[in-house]
Amino acid sequence: MPLRTPEMPLRFQADGPSPDTLAELGATTHEMPHSGSTSPPARSNPSPPSEPVDRRDAAWFIDKAVAVLVFVGGVSAILFILGIFAFVTREGIGFLHNGFDFAEFFTSPKWRPTSDTHPTFGILALIVGTASVTGLAMAVSVPFSVGAALYISEFARGRTKEVLKVLVELLAAIPSVVWGFVGLVIMNPLIIKVFNVPVGLGILNSGVILGLMAAPIMTTIAEDALKAVPDGYREAAEAIGATRWQVATRVVLPAAKHGLVAAVLLGVGRGFGETMAVLMASGHAINLPTSIFDSVRALTATIAAELGETAMGSQHYQALFSLGILLFVVTFFINLGADVLVRRTRGV
């Protein structure tokens, strides 16, 4: 058969398939691929996924209601604090505008608001009494709290650890009036007998009671600060041969110093604002103390003891609320400083 040149038309043999048959075969091949074909079958484009439908059933409404309740609860705490501060400020602002003498108020130890001839409103003795009781309470509670937190965090294991944590939390559940009875009935005669003093109600009694009251919250915050120290610090110290005591005192405690300071500040705020136990155990006498056996009067105890017997709207009444303003401001800044240190410890 002669070769076809470009000029020659293409011809089919008589017994071969016709052009129409070849066209049909080609169409069938595209529509139904045979088993030996390597080309993938044609696929239809999948439809895009539909958006999830937010069904407003009972679960949806419950979720929204809980979210609103949680929001209201969070906002209400701030509103309550602002409302309390506004109320205290409104009741005490009259004294600050009319009878307030800055020098007498902060430097005079004479608190005589009911004098008929010359009422004086000096709170120096009250400030010194509050500071002395709180200082002794911190001297008692800080070693106890840090030691308890260190043992619970670094040395106690298993059931012992859980039992100690529960016992520490139970101390915080004891009412302040019960602590006051302990100071009045137990500590008072004990101090008189041991130290041979005429009265056992004073700085020592109230300081010990207040220290025991502040210990639980300080222990809890201190333990959280110790647990926040990365385990890599402990593992690195143990890898170079340090004992558990050396790891705890030379590695963990320095690393948790900010949290420990925050725990102490929260304890100070707890002691600075305590009322009933201090009122019952301090002797409630207005003087500048010279020893830990002297009776003193605290700012909070003064408000609790005198507010119920004061005429509403009088100068004495307004002066007591000015003491409340001072307490509110001091405790606010103490707690604010503690919160800043706790956030720094947790890396927030």
Is residue 66 one of the residues assigned to a domain? no
- Residue found under tokens 């937190």: 149
Structure tokens at 43: 């696929």
Overall pTM > 0.85? no
Is residue 67 one of the residues assigned to a domain? no
- Residue 25 has a pLDDT of 46
In whole angstroms, what is the distance from residue 90 CA to residue 80 CA?
A: 15
Structure tokens at 39: 């080309």
Is residue 149 one of the residues assigned to a domain? yes
- How many beta carbons lie within 10 A of that of residue 330, not counting itself? 17
Domain that holds residue 140: 83-346
- Residue found under tokens 């009933």: 276
Question: Which H helix or E strand runs over 214?
Answer: helix 203-227
User: At 106, which CATH number?
Assistant: 1.10.3720.10
DSSP-derived 3-state class of residue 283: strand
Is residue 46 one of the residues assigned to a domain? no
Residue 111: φ, ψ to 5°: -110, 95
Is residue 173 within 8 Å of residue 307, measured between CB atoms? no
- Residue 347 has a pLDDT of 57
- Residue 6 has a pLDDT of 47
Is residue 107 one of the residues assigned to a domain? yes
DSSP-derived 3-state class of residue 263: helix
Q: Where are the alpha helices (DSSP H) in 228-314?
A: 231-239, 244-247, 253-255, 257-272, 276-281, 299-306
- Residue 338 has a pLDDT of 80
Partners of 342 in the beta sheet? Answer: none
Is residue 251 one of the residues assigned to a domain? yes
DSSP string, 44-95: PPPPPPPPPP---SHHHHHHHHHHHHHHHHHHHHHHHHHHHHHHHHHHHHHH
In whole angstroms, what is the distance from residue 18 CA to residue 11 CA?
A: 10
DSSP-derived 3-state class of residue 296: strand
**How many alpha carbons fall within 13 Å on the CB side of residue 131?**
9
Tell me the C-alpha to C-alpha distance, in Å, between residue 332 and each of 257, 267, 328.
Answer: 22, 13, 6
- Residue 45 has a pLDDT of 57
Q: Which residues of 130-165 are buried (b: 16+ CB within 10 A; e: fewer)?
A: bebbbebbbebbbeebbebbbebbbebeeeeeeebb
- Identify the burial level of 348 via C-beta atoms within 10 angstroms of its C-beta, where 0-12 means exposed, 13-18 middle and 19 or more buried: exposed
In whole angstroms, what is the distance from residue 39 CA to residue 30 CA?
A: 10
- Residue 58 has a pLDDT of 86
Is residue 192 one of the residues assigned to a domain? yes
- How many beta carbons lie within 10 A of that of residue 88, not counting itself? 17
- Residue 49 has a pLDDT of 57
State the DSSP code for 40: P
- Residue 269 has a pLDDT of 87
Longest dimension (CA), the chain: 146
- Residue found under tokens 């008589």: 14
- Identify the burial level of 304 via C-beta atoms within 10 angstroms of its C-beta, where 0-12 means exposed, 13-18 middle and 19 or more buried: middle
Is residue 293 one of the residues assigned to a domain? yes
> For the chain, how many structural domains are there in total?
1
- Residue 37 has a pLDDT of 47
Is residue 144 within 8 Å of residue 215, measured between CB atoms? yes
Length of the chain counted residue by residue? 348
- Residues (pLDDT < 50) of the chain are 1-15, 22-23, 25, 27-37, 348
